[in-house]
Amino acid sequence: MLSRIEQTRLAISKTADAKKKARLGQFFTPSSIARFMADLFDSCAERDCYLLDAGAGIGSLSVAFLDRWKNGDIPFRHVEVDAFELDSHLLPYLSGTLEEYARQHGVVINIKNADFIEIAAKWISGDLLTDSPKQYTHAIMNPPYKKIRSDSDHRLALRRAGIETVNLYSAFVALALSLLKDGGQIVAIIPRSFCNGPYYRSFRDYILARSAIRNIHLFESRSKAFKDDDVLQENIIIRLERGGKQKAVTITTSTDDKFDDLVSYSCPFHRVMLPNDPERIIHVPTSPGDSFIEQSLAIRCKLRDIGIEISTGPVVDFRMKKYLRKMPEPGTVPLLYPGHFNGNGLEWPKPGFKKPNAIERNSDTERWLYPNGSYCVVRRFTAKEEKRRVVAMVVDSMAFSNIPYLGFENHLNLFHEKKQGLPQALAYGLAVYLNSTCVDEYFRRFSGHTQINATDLRFMNYPSRRNLMALGAWAMKTKTLTQEMIDQKIGRMSE
């Protein structure tokens, strides 16, 4: 059955309206991924199975689950499936697939052409006009991926159900988890973006309060898992157990959806979520051993320990458009964008630059400016083709002699001391450390997208202030640095 439904998936993917797919956040699951997801479920003591497939599409995930049951791998006496699908165009494919299991194997099939968020939120919030909520034993899903507006009906419905989140995929997972009975399992393929950052903090709190993480699978290639739909978002497959006691997590990795090079190992939970981490960032270690940063006794400090703060650049250009200038002129100060930095350092002003080079200094703008000084800055977004996720650069006070203030645009994160510049050596030392391979490898464990949040950088570990100053002095003296030189210098750093 899966091979037949895979042919249907490929045909629909080629002909589907791209605008409608974007509007619904719709991506169909390849059969190899569906089979892998179904195989993650543990056999359990339940004799009756009530399966939820929210955003069922053409039924690939339900089919993979039912095939595993049909083959005797999970010995249920009775199976009932609730398949939610909002796109009425897909209903003939979905019903044609699942009704065959009803005819041949006695599976009870309930296909619901309805908005899962709307129905599930009413169930959970106790809406007296709806049926009593079901308690599912299993849920399998590839939920839609699309942002939820803060003023939308979905956001309000979720809030009534006690769920605060910003994307359809996290809403689907949170709702499904709430509808599981204790011991129930959910397997979902979702973007990795929920693992870190402030926007998904409430969602992380929600799932960690109600479930245990049992499995995480990471696709090492960003583009191959959903290659037929041109998806570049990094995805993971996660299995959660409702009400479970948290133990070690099984981590698996593969390059793509063929799973030919599958690697699996058991990881203690304290490596998946660092003890006492206030942001509850979820790490996905890609090897059994500790990372260099975890092992190093010389990298144990937080920014507060070394007297440094990090902020997002305060100048939001579209809000201050009337004060921006294409080139510097009397009464203006430099406005720095990521585009002012390249492999050769800082280029300002930049002729022919698409963005403004300067901002007017006046009573309306001055509170958004920083005193001239030395700063370490990190791009908030890196290009997909860049080798490193974290790209750090130095703004040297010597580059802006006789200029009292600097503007930092919102696409930069900057390290500072109480809104003042850093000692020059400290700024260079931070940049050397942040540009090291060990930081890049560590950052990739919890960040699956190209956005670099100030929060993520704030809670990383750093060398001591003394060691950072020494790194900076070495970098300023050495002038031209290679990646190998940086990594060797970090590796030799002592307490």
Which has the higher per-residue pLDDT, 10 or 377?
Answer: 377
Average pLDDT over every residue of 83-107: 89
Which has the higher per-residue pLDDT, 23 or 316?
Answer: 316
What architecture (CATH level 2) is domain 2-289? Answer: 3-Layer(aba) Sandwich (3.40)
Average pLDDT over every residue of 344-355: 90
Read off the pLDDT band of 256 (50, 70, 90): confident
Read off the pLDDT band of 221 (50, 70, 90): low
pLDDT number for residue 21: 47
Tokens of 178: 């709430």
Average pLDDT over every residue of 226-254: 82
Phi first, then psi: give them for residue 470, nearest 5 degrees.
Answer: -65, -40
Question: 45-49, 105-109, 114-118, 335-339 — which is least confidently predicted?
Answer: 45-49
Whole-angstrom Cα distance, residue 277 to residue 294?
14
Tens digit of pLDDT for each residue in 257-269?
Answer: 889 999 999 999 9
Tens digit of pLDDT for each residue in 272-320?
Answer: 998 888 889 898 887 777 778 888 889 999 999 999 999 999 999 999 9
Tens digit of pLDDT for each residue in 118-170?
Answer: 999 999 887 655 566 678 999 999 999 999 998 899 999 999 999 999 999 99
Is 80 exceeded by the pLDDT of residue 2? no
Average pLDDT over every residue of 101-128: 89
Read off the pLDDT band of 174 (50, 70, 90): very high
Question: 94-108, 417-431, 445-459 — which is least confidently predicted?
Answer: 445-459
Is 70 exceeded by the pLDDT of residue 322? yes
Average pLDDT over every residue of 203-222: 90
- Identify which of 282, 279, 237, 278 has the alpha carbon closest to the alpha carbon of residue 256: 237
Per-residue H/E/C for the chain: CHHHHHHHHHHHHHHCCHHHHHHHCCCCCCHHHHHHHHHCCCCCCCCEEEEEEECCCCCHHHHHHHHHHHCCCCCCCEEEEEEECCCHHHHHHHHHHHHHHHHHHCCEEEEECCCHHHHHHHHHHCCCCCCCCCCEEEEEECCCCCECCCCCHHHHHHHHCCCCCCEHHHHHHHHHHHHEEEEEEEEEEEEHHHHCCHHHHHHHHHHHHHEEEEEEEEECCCCCCCHHHCCCCCEEEEEEEECCCCCCEEEEEECCCCCCCCEEEEECHHHHCCCCCCCCCCCCCCCCCCCHHHHCCCEEECHHHHCCEEEECCECHHHCHHHEECCCCCCEEEEECHHHEECCEECCCCCCCCCCCEEECCCCCHHHCEECCEEEEEECECCCCCCCCCCEEEECHHHHCCCCEEEEECCEEEEEECCECECHHHHHHHHHHHCCHHHHHHHHCCCCCCECCHHHHHCCCEECHHHHHHHHHHHHHHCCCCHHHHHHHHHCCCC
pLDDT number for residue 448: 57
Read off the pLDDT band of 6 (50, 70, 90): low
In CATH terms, the fold of domain 300-490 is Adenine-n6-DNA-methyltransferase TaqI; Chain A, domain 2 (3.90.220)
pLDDT number for residue 486: 94
pLDDT number for residue 223: 53
Average pLDDT over every residue of 317-335: 95
Whole-angstrom Cα distance, residue 248 to residue 264?
13
426 Cα distance to chain centroid? 30
pLDDT number for residue 295: 80
Tens digit of pLDDT for each residue in 28-48?
Answer: 788 999 999 999 999 876 789
The domain ranges of the chain are 2-289, 300-490
pTM of the model: 0.78
Relative to beta strand 324-325, strand 358-360 is: antiparallel
How much is the mean pLDDT over the chain? 88
Read off the pLDDT band of 381 (50, 70, 90): confident
**CB neighbour burial string for 392-415, b if at least 16 within 10 angstroms, e if fewer:** bbbbbbebbeeeebbbbbbbbbbb
Average pLDDT over every residue of 417-437: 96
Average pLDDT over every residue of 387-397: 88
Which has the higher per-residue pLDDT, 13 or 304?
Answer: 304
Average pLDDT over every residue of 224-253: 80
State the amino acid at position 138 in one-letter form: H
